[in-house]
């Protein structure tokens, strides 16, 4: 009795199993297709099915130009490649694949207007004082941001970034500070200019003095005065403005006796008080003496030249030469 009750369930199980077995495909869905209970071969990518072949050995032909087939197919036609219109700011496609769909690419500076990319639109241009945070490409637009402190941007650009202010070099200072739309303006330091001018002036002065001394030395070689010229050049370069040393030769003849000396002294004093110049004959007589010869109170001869005086002893009986 119990066995009789289980028979209907066993029968249902057999029916379900046979149904599942019949529903399972026997062909490879990627490379085969079923026809009249047989698994026929498909044509590979880039080709299409042509008439004249058999199920197990089909005749496949290449897709025509402008078409493509990106998978195995049992169809006798290929898919049409999209047309990338340059008038819609797409790049012109030269080499078209027959195995893959060619994607239309927007020109540089443009991006797709939508996910389907039916048209292209220009990237956003960043205004002065703003730079590109992210540069636009084929699928995305440019994102702009305001320049931060220490950076600037002058013009409109969809790919330009904010640049850093210029750092002035040594010897220069910031004459005008930069802004978000302008760079630092550097100017040359005044002290730097003065230093260059002083160095140039000193160099020119040294060259001039050296040229002058060399020329004088060449002239002095003929006269045996090289030493004097070199001394003069040294004094000129050191800034000594004093008068050069003069060589004064004084020829003095002592009186023969005390009476003649006193007579000459009294005569000179009397003429000096009277404001009368010494006669020419007396000048001839004292021509060997230095100019402005005067006797001191002690009886010594005194010579005066350019505000300087030299006392000569009466004991000197020979001609002497003095250099002041």
Three-class SS of 103-140: CCCECCCEEECCCCCCCEEECCCECCCEEEEECCCCCC
User: Does residue 209 contact residue 233 with C-beta atoms inside 8 Å?
Assistant: yes
d(CA 245, CA 129): 76
Q: What is the pTM of this model?
A: 0.45
**What's the maximum distance between 2 C-alpha atoms anywhere in the chain?**
198
Walk along the chain (324 residues) and give the pLDDT tens digit of each residue.
Answer: 444 444 444 444 444 444 444 445 588 999 999 988 889 999 999 999 988 888 889 999 999 998 999 999 999 999 999 888 999 999 987 767 899 998 889 999 999 999 888 899 999 999 999 999 999 999 999 999 999 999 999 989 999 999 999 999 988 999 999 999 999 999 988 765 677 778 888 888 888 888 777 777 766 555 555 556 556 655 555 554 445 444 444 444 444 456 666 677 777 666 655 554 444 444 444 444 444 555 555 555 555 554 444 444 444 444 444 434
State both tokens at 282: 């007396």
Burial 195-208 (b: 16+ CB within 10 A, else e): eeeeeeeeeeeeee
CA distance 123 to 151: 23
Compute the distance between CA of residue 85 and CA of residue 120 in angstroms, rounded to an integer.
10
Between CA 95 and CA 81 the distance in angstroms is 12
């Amino acid at each position: 009795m119990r066995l009789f009750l289980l028979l209907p369930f066993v029968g249902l199980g057999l029916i379900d199993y046979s149904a599942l077995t019949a529903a399972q495909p026997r062909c490879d869905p990627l490379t085969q297709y079923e026809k009249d209970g047989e698994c026929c071969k498909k044509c590979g990518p880039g080709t299409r099915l042509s008439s004249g072949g058999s199920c197990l050995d089909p005749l496949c032909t290449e897709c025509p130009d402008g078409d493509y087939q990106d998978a195995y197919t049992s169809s006798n036609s290929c898919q049409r490649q999209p047309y990338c219109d340059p008038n819609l700011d797409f790049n012109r496609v030269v080499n078209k694949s027959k195995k893959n769909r060619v994607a239309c690419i927007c020109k540089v500076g443009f991006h797709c207007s939508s996910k389907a990319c039916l048209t292209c639109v220009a990237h956003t241009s960043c205004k002065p004082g703003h730079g590109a945070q992210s540069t636009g490409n084929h699928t995305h637009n440019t994102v702009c941001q305001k320049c931060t402190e220490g950076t600037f941007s002058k013009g409109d650009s969809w790919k330009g970034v904010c640049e850093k202010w210029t750092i002035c070099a040594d010897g220069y200072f910031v004459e005008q500070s930069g802004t978000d739309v302008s760079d630092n303006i550097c100017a040359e330091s005044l002290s730097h200019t003065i230093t260059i001018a002083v160095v140039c002036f000193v160099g020119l002065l040294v060259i001039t003095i050296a040229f002058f001394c060399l020329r004088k030395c060449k002239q002095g070689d003929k006269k045996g005065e090289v030493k004097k010229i070199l001394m003069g050049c040294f004094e000129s370069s050191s800034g000594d403005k004093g008068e050069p040393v003069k060589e004064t030769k004084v020829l003095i003849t002592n009186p023969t006796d005390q009476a003649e000396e006193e007579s000459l002294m009294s005569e000179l004093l009397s003429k000096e008080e009277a404001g009368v110049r010494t006669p020419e004959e007396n000048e001839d007589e004292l021509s060997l003496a230095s100019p402005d010869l005067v006797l001191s109170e002690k009886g010594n001869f005194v010579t005066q030249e350019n505000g300087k005086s030299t006392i000569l002893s009466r004991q000197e009986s020979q001609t002497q030469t003095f250099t002041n």
